[in-house]
Amino acid sequence: MAHLVQYLEIRYPNIESASHETVAIDCLLDYQAKANQYDYNKISLYAYLRMAARRDMLNAIEKATRMESRLADIESPSIQDQMPSESLSSDYSEMDEWLLDNSDLSLSEIMSQLDDELDDEEKQVLMLLLDGVRETEAYVEVLGLGGLEKSKQQLEVKRAKDRLLKKLRRFGERIRIS
């Protein structure tokens, strides 16, 4: 492994050393899994492993380049135009307009009714869902499930989310949102 890492460091000095080690480890594991692909009559083992490591490093560099090219510069004006504005109007005019078309109730009436329907725990879970939180730990804290083992925590969080979503669907049907 040290031989491969050194070879990669010399050959690719601009790449971080952790990548050299990762590629060397992956190369050796791949060789171990597919040892029958190596023909000692054609090439020495060191040369074969260096060739495989070089190929793996080029693939890793190409993959990183592809990933980087997919990332957009969030500061560019074209991306900024696509992002929602950070300042939500206090009167929620777009939401009110949508509700006017799809319901008999105003946003404040819906929020008032929803506030009556949900207990504090459900409201906190709803806020996490609306904020796009996916980590189980955040829900565990809100639901007070810290004493349970991880698998039971995940199960209880899923149940709480499912119950809430079912309650919201029923609520939506009741207020006649089409």
Contact 161, 133 (CB under 8 A): no
Contact 146, 137 (CB under 8 A): no
pLDDT score for 88: 42
pLDDT score for 87: 44
Task: Tell me how far apart the alpha carbons of residues 111 and 107 are, in angstroms, rounded to a whole number.
Answer: 6
Q: Which two tokens stand for residue 80?
A: 């900024």
pLDDT score for 84: 58
Per-residue pLDDT of 56-101, as tens digits, reads: 999 989 988 888 777 766 777 776 666 655 544 444 455 566 666 6
Q: What band does 40 get if pLDDT is binned at 50, 70 and 90?
A: confident
Angle at 157 between CA 134 and CA 178, to 5 degrees: 75
Per-residue pLDDT of 48-58, as tens digits, reads: 889 999 999 99
Give the three-state DSSP class for 84: coil
For residue 22, count other CB atoms closer than 10 A to its CB: 16
pLDDT score for 102: 63
User: Which has the closest alpha carbon to 142: 133, 55, 40?
Assistant: 133
Does the pTM exceed 0.75? no
Per-residue pLDDT of 144-161, as tens digits, reads: 998 889 899 999 999 998
Name the percent of the chain lying above pLDDT 70. Answer: 80
